[in-house]
Amino acid sequence: MKKLLSLMAAALVLAFAAPLFAGDVPVIRASYTMTTHQQAFMVAMAEGENFKDLGVWLKPVVPKEKFDLYDNGKKVARLEVVVTKSGSEATTLFAQGHLDLTTNSFPAMLSGIDSGAKIKVIAPLQSDAIAMVARNDIDVKGWDGFEKYVKESKRPVTVGYHSPTSAPKIVFEAAMAQSNLRVTGDANATKEQADIVMMDLKGIPNVIPAMVAKQVEFAVIPAPTPEVVEAKGQGHIVLQLKELPPAGEWADFPCCCIAASDKAIAEEPEALRSFVKLMTVSSEWCLANKEEAAKATGDWLGVEPEVISKAVMGLSTTVTPTWMKNASLYPDILNELGQLTGSLKGKKLADVQDQVFDFRFTKSAR
């Protein structure tokens, strides 16, 4: 019996130990979330070997779960891919040593670094395509309409979000602060205490059910959920978050990025360089072939291509001055909101760039 238990324990250890190699190439444990923001990764997986002519591609091994990454005809890594509900879940997996690479929320990565996760942002990925939606019974459109609704409400207005470290929540709360609208997370707050109550819906799949059940009046969420809400007649888009005041402040704002563990950066630089290259060519392909990209993304997410194509967003892995300028606002905002309590507390992005970034795998535009 003791021998059997020992064998079972050993099997469990092996089952949960991260595999280092698949044949003669390293295994990279990667994740993404099911939003249009991850289009470059989803399209690369969906198109697979159709990207051969682009020089870097994925060969499916197990559909949607395992892929071999090829660069110029050479197999450089095996990707084991999982879906995370949010960027904060990805940072938890990084901290537990269960993840090597992700395409996910930039502010979530900042929050993870602040909490001690050994990760770096290695490239930009996507900007914009975030919206506020309202229930059908709330006839509000545009910023002026929303502000009027909030001010005339006799109780705090409820606004849902999918993750506490998500760009939609952070940008929205920062814009509300600049508009002198009081925000709280206390569901019992009165109108004398707050104008808006933020509600954590704990994942994108819970947003539509929460609106249908009238648990929230509004929600701030990434594409394609706002477009899906409209297409299904379950609500309507009030505004794109880039339209929030002050005018122009939130346009071309970074949301998702590519991040990797310090261990993967040190031990598997070739694989990471090829992955960033794949995201670069996939992003360029998506922008040049919008109909095909919308179809591939829609098929992957189970959403009509016409709905996917309504989201307007930027896709690029290049570090531009605009990206850095806007990215630098996130630590400022998170510190103002009291959400950085660790190594990034009170810090400007310029002061912690070596702690946050490792851009050796991508290019910069001066």
Span 280-312, pLDDT tens digits: 999 999 999 999 999 999 999 999 999 999 988
Strands 74-83 and 101-105: unpaired
Are the C-beta atoms of residues 128 and 240 closer than 8 Å to each other?
yes
| Cα 169 to Cα 51, 77, 108, 244, 301, distances in angstroms | 35, 35, 11, 13, 23
Residues 6+ apart with CB under 8 A from 92: 112
Tell me what the pLDDT averaged over the chain comes to. Answer: 92
The residue behind tokens 């998702």 is 256
| Cα 185 to Cα 119, 178, 182, 190, 315, distances in angstroms | 29, 18, 11, 12, 32
Residue 337 pLDDT: 83
Which two structure tokens, joined as six digits, stand for 54? Answer: 């682009």
d(CA 332, CA 32): 26
Task: Say if residue 165's pLDDT is above 90.
Answer: no
Q: Which amino acid is at 147?
A: E
| Least confident segment among 99-108, 229-238, 245-254 | 245-254
Task: Say if residue 23's pLDDT is above 80.
Answer: no
pLDDT tens, position by position, 34-57: 999 999 999 999 999 999 999 999
Span 350-358, mean pLDDT? 97
In 3D, which of 34, 360, 354, 332 has the Cα closest to residue 206? 34
60 cis-preceded (ω within 30 degrees of 0): no
Q: Which domains are present in the chain?
A: 15-127+255-356 (3.40.190.10), 130-243 (3.40.190.10)
The residue behind tokens 């299904």 is 232
Q: What is the CA radius of gyration of the chain?
A: 21
Residue 365 pLDDT: 62
The residue behind tokens 């670069």 is 280
Which two structure tokens, joined as six digits, stand for 278? Answer: 């794949």
Angle, alpha carbons 67-40-304 (nearest 5°) = 100
Task: Say if residue 61's pLDDT is above 70.
Answer: yes
Task: Say if residue 19's pLDDT is above 60.
Answer: no
